[in-house]
Structure 1
Amino acid sequence: MALSEMPADLLGEHRQVLAECAATGRLPDRAAFDACRAVGTRAAELGVPLRVLVDSALAAADGLSLALPALRRTVSVLIEGYERAQLAAIRSEEAARREFVDDLLQGRAERLAERAEHFGLRMAESYVVAAACGMRDSDHLDRIERDLITRFGSHNVLVAVRDRLLVCVTPATLPAAVGEFTHHVRGRFPAGWRVGVGRAHRGPGGVVTSYREAAQALELADALALRIDVVKAADLLVFPVLLRDRSAIEDLVTSVLSPLLGARGGHEPLLETLEAIFASQGNQTAAARRLGLSTRAVTYRLERIRRLTGFSPDDPTQRFTLETAVLGARLLGWPAGFSH
């Protein structure tokens, strides 16, 4: 946009104000500055480039050499108004993006495709959702969103807070974005953070499904006391299957593990021993290191479990039954969380 293309009346009485200042030697009053600031705001709203606006303001001072102090102040106020309008526009866009993400994650379909196009998203594609728990500072949202957009572009990343989780929506064709999101969470969240990653699904409904999978992965990781920072829904598919028939899994847990409730010292040390054995692929020495015990103590506990339950992790079939029962116990909060 050239000077001649700028609205002729935009600067209003700018030259007249400068002329009065040149004649009196005084700076403009507050009303004049407020009017000038409003001009800067209006110029930004009209899309007038800042360079063109400043050039026009300087051109209005031609021949008014004594107006330099006033010119300097008025140009500064013009820029202030312009920057305020730009900041307001940015904040409005950010608010619109976050409202869109919130509607997207809740499955509100009203004008979703149209709004997605505004943000450069192609909703016919497959998307992956990652969700991080453990955020305590809301400023992390702005910083992480800014860093991700700088690297991948605003059309490839959507970031928002939902259900106390920091959520990132990204195309399935851009796996590096999930890794980058995790990197920023690791660097900015306090200890105890964890990231859940849903599977890739197509379309707006797929985003909702992936988000629910990511959130459920975090819940399962907590229930199972997993020691990993990043949990993928694809790695935990067996657990939703187990939970679909609660009565069956409760019956399995009760039948297999109830004898442990009467053990001296309680059932918890024995469950922890089984979990360590399963995590160590049956290696008792590795399990002992996990538990901070001697190998002999682990062997003794496993023998107690075999005597009490009749099941041994050394037998492949019995190991599967035991491991499924222990997983079910953790998922359902056995024994306190059981209905019978």
Structure 2
Amino acid sequence: MLEPRVAELPAEVGERLRAERPALRDRVLGTMRAAMSGQGRSLTGGQGRGLTLGVETAVEAFVRAVAEPAHDPDGTREVFVELGRTEFREGHSVDALRSILTLGGRAIWAYLVERDLPPAVLYVLASALFGFIDALAGAAAEGYLDEQRRHARDWDTTRRRLITLLVQPDPPGAAAILAAADAARWRLPGSVAVVSVEGTDGEHLARRAGSGTIATVIDDATRLILPEPATPGRVAHLAAALAGQRAALGPAVALDQARLSYRLSRRALQLQRAGVLPSAALLPCDEHLVTLIHAWEPGLAGRLAGRWLAPLEALGAAEREVLAATLLAWLRAQGQVLAAAAALPAHPQTVRYRMRKIRRLFGAALDDPDARLALQLALTHRAAGTLAHGPGSLDDGRRGAATG
């Protein structure tokens, strides 16, 4: 019972309303039709039929509640829960339905006022009516939100499937990608960039990024698919949206190369966490490719350094470090002693003295371009120190999208 005082109304009030149900229903339907027309809708179609049923059910339930105060209106509530679900499925807002219900309630009230009922009766009916309308609006909102939550779960599933297809080791054909994109209501772009972001609030990050960005959580981080990253201002907007969060921006690639962008951003985020790469809000992988190559497979750069820098191992720790730094400066200066001395810094004669020692250790390797490249890579790795112990690896093996 919505209003306990309804039970105290004279029996003839309920009987009178029962007799006038058809006219009351027509009055409310007319009001509903006008309101829906104002919203660009009509009472035809699935939603229109649902609202017509809702009006008939609501009028019947209200009249019965007045005539039979002990009647349980739960069936009426379920009709409006379903109306709320339908409202969401058809792309309308719950406020639009609420406004129509409010107008329907006012139409019933105007009809009651026109019946010349005693004020005391009208006061009770007003309390009962608007409490009833509030209950129906609450039921509709419940249905709307339930449907919204269900679709949110569905969206997460479909978008996760799409992203997984794009970044897995063996991407499927174009038809499968198109079908997955259609299911996720995502327009296929010509190019994408994959962004790896610390944290697992993918849906929230995608909304902040905007521009058709979709997201899911793979492993322990959020992976964003940013469409058309070369669009002016798009990356800047993304950087602002991710301010305060550690993130790595993979390179812009064609859609069928999304896995490469994913792998680079994934590894870069790992290296950010390890302190090897800067913890910028949005680190561009293309600006750190040398570091990524060094740290791509843990142990590999260490193996390279161990092999090519073996001649230094017989020296004491202090001399080993001095000669390693001198050789790296000399290689970076392309054999120019003065430039190497300025970079260290050290006196040119000191550099020449050290290089004589280094030549005795490395011999002809210093004159071989390939050997010099290997030495510079090994020394760069050694100078970085922590690269050999970066977390995880990104091989081209068949591990699946979640880890490969």
> In the superposition, relative to structure 1, how do residues 267 and 177 fare at CA in structure 2: closer, same or farther (>3 Å)?
farther
Asked if 1:214 is matched to 2:265, the reply is: yes
Provide, for residues 128-148 of structure 1, a one-character-per-residue CA deviation record: whole Å limited to 9, x for no partner: 22323xx2x423x23221111
Question: CA 1:241–1:39 in structure 2 vs 1: closer, same or farther (change >3 Å)?
Answer: closer
Residues 129 and 306 from structure 1, CA distance in 2 versus in 1: closer, same or farther, beyond 3 angstroms? farther
Classify 1:216/1:71 alpha carbon distance in 2 versus 1 (closer, same or farther; 3 Å).
closer
Counterpart in the other structure of 2:143 = 81
Q: Secondary structure at the match of 2:187?
A: coil
Higher CA-based Rg? 2
Which residue of structure 2 aligns with residue 69 of structure 1?
131
Q: 1:54 to 1:167 in 2, by over 3 A?
A: same
Is residue 129 of structure 1 aligned with residue 173 of structure 2? no
Paired with 2:55 and 2:323, the residues of 1 have a C-alpha distance of 78
Residues 280-331 of structure 1: CA distance to partner in whole angstroms, max 9, x if unpaired?
Answer: 97677876xxxxxxx67xx99997787467479x999797554222246669
Distance 2:93 2:172 in 1: 37
| Structure 2 SS opposite 1:138 | coil
SS in 2 for 1:4: coil
- 3-state SS of the aligned residue for 1:89? helix
1:292 maps to none
Q: Of 242, 245, 263, which aligns to 1:185?
A: 242
| Residue 53 of structure 1: how far off its partner (Å) | 6.4
Q: CA distance change for structure 1 residues 89 and 242 in 2, over 3 Å: closer, same or farther?
A: closer
The unaligned stretches of length 5 or more in structure 1 are: 288-294, 335-340
1:185-334 matches, within 5 Å, as: 185-187=242-244, 189=245, 193-198=246-251, 200-203=252-255, 205-217=256-268, 225-227=276-278, 229=280, 230-233=283-286, 236=289, 253-254=305-306, 256-265=308-317, 273=325, 307=357, 310=361, 322-327=375-380, 333=388
Q: 1:300 to 1:12 in 2, by over 3 A?
A: farther
Q: 1:144 aligns with which of 189, 200, 205?
A: 205
The answer to whether structure 1 residue 97 and structure 2 residue 159 are counterparts is: yes
Q: 1:263 to 1:303 in 2, by over 3 A?
A: farther
The answer to whether the 8 Å contact 2:229/2:235 transfers is no
CA contact (8 A) 1:37 1:82 kept: yes
Q: Distance in 1 between matches of 2:352 and 2:142?
A: 73
Amino acid at match of 1:167: R
User: Residue 43 of structure 1 contacts residue 53 of structure 1 at CA under 8 Å; is this kept in 2?
Assistant: no
Q: 1:186 to 1:113 in 2, by over 3 A?
A: same
CA distance in 1, matches of 2:284, 2:319: 27
Q: 1:258/1:171 Cα in 2 relative to 1: closer, same or farther (>3 Å)?
A: same
Root-mean-square deviation (CA), in Å?
5.0
TM-score, normalised by the number of residues in structure 2? 0.57
| Partner of residue 158, structure 1 | 214
**So what's the TM-score if we normalise by structure 1?**
0.66
Partner of 2:58: 14
Tell me the amino acid that sits aligned with residue 209 of structure 1. Answer: L
Q: What is the number of residues matched between the two proteins?
A: 307
Q: Which amino acid aligns with 1:166?
A: T
Equivalent residue for 2:100, pick from 43, 55, 58? 55
Q: 1:277 to 1:183 in 2, by over 3 A?
A: farther
Alpha-carbon distance between aligned partners in 2 of 1:195 and 1:284, rounded to the nearest angstrom: 36
Contact 1:54 1:75 in 2 (8 A): no
Deviations, residues 43-71 of structure 1 (Å, cap 9, x unaligned): 43355664256425742662356122222
Q: Aligned residues: percent identity?
A: 16
